[in-house]
Structure 1
Amino acid sequence: MALQNYFLACKNTSIHKIYMTQSSGDRKGSFREVPRPPAEQFAPLASVFQRRLLVGVGSAALVAVGADFGGITSFLLGLSPETGRSLKLDVLYPIGGYNRCIETNEGFEFIYPASWVGDQRLLYRAAEKQEYERSLDPPPLNDGKSGDPRRKNMNEPVVAFGPPGSSGELNVSVIVSPVPLDFSIEAFGGPKEVGEAVVRKITGSRPDVKGTLTESSLRQDSGRKVNYYELEFRVESPTFRRHNVAVCCARGGRLYTLNAQAPESAWPDMKSDFYRIADSFSLIS
Structure 2
Amino acid sequence: MALQSSSFIISNTLNRIHITQCCSPRQQQPAEQFAPLANRFQRRLLLGLGSASLVALGANFAGITSFLLSLSPENGRNLKLDVLYPIRGYSRCLDTNQGFEFIYPANWVGDQTLLYRAAKKRELELPLDPPPLNATPKRSNISEPVVAFGPPGSTGELNVSVIVSPVSQDFSIEAFGGPEEVGESVVRTITGSGQRPEVKGTLITSTLREDSLKNAKYYEIEFRVESPSFRRHNVAVCCARRGKLFTLNAQAPESAWPSVKSDFYRIADSFSLTT
TM-score grouping bracket, smaller chain normalisation: 0.7 to 0.9
Name the structure 1 match of 2:59: 67
1:215–1:233 Cα contact (<8 Å) kept: yes
User: CA 1:142/1:108 → structure 2, altered by over 3 Å: closer, same or farther?
Assistant: farther
Q: Runs of 5+ in structure 1 lacking a partner?
A: 1-10, 15-34
Name the structure 2 match of 1:164: 152
Correspondence 1:107 to 2:99:
yes
Separation (CA, whole Å) in 2 of partners of 1:141 and 1:92: 47
Per the normalisation by structure 2, the TM-score is: 0.80
Q: CA deviation at 1:182?
A: 0.6
Q: CA RMSD in A?
A: 2.7
1:245–1:278 Cα contact (<8 Å) kept: yes
> After the TM superposition, which residues 19-98 of structure 1 pair with which residues of structure 2 at under 5 Å, given as runs?
48-98=40-90
Worse overlay, 216-225 or 167-176: 216-225
> After the TM superposition, which residues 146-225 of structure 1 pair with which residues of structure 2 at under 5 Å, given as runs?
147-148=137-138, 154-203=142-191, 204-205=193-194, 206-225=196-215
Q: Runs of 5+ in structure 2 lacking a partner?
A: 1-24
SS at match of 1:158: strand
1:214–1:233 Cα contact (<8 Å) kept: yes
Per the normalisation by structure 1, the TM-score is: 0.78
- The residue identity in structure 1 corresponding to 2:268 is A
Q: CA deviation at 1:141?
A: 4.0
User: CA 1:68/1:134 → structure 2, altered by over 3 Å: closer, same or farther?
Assistant: farther
Greater Cα radius of gyration, structure 1 or 2: 2
Separation (CA, whole Å) in 1 of partners of 2:114 and 2:188: 28
1:154–1:177 Cα contact (<8 Å) kept: no
Q: CA deviation at 1:13?
A: 11
Name the structure 2 match of 1:28: none
1:208–1:238 Cα contact (<8 Å) kept: yes
Correspondence 1:244 to 2:272:
no
Q: CA deviation at 1:207?
A: 2.5
SS at match of 1:82: helix
The number of residues matched between the two structures is: 249
Q: CA deviation at 1:61?
A: 0.9
Q: CA deviation at 1:167?
A: 0.9
Separation (CA, whole Å) in 1 of partners of 2:124 and 2:268: 34
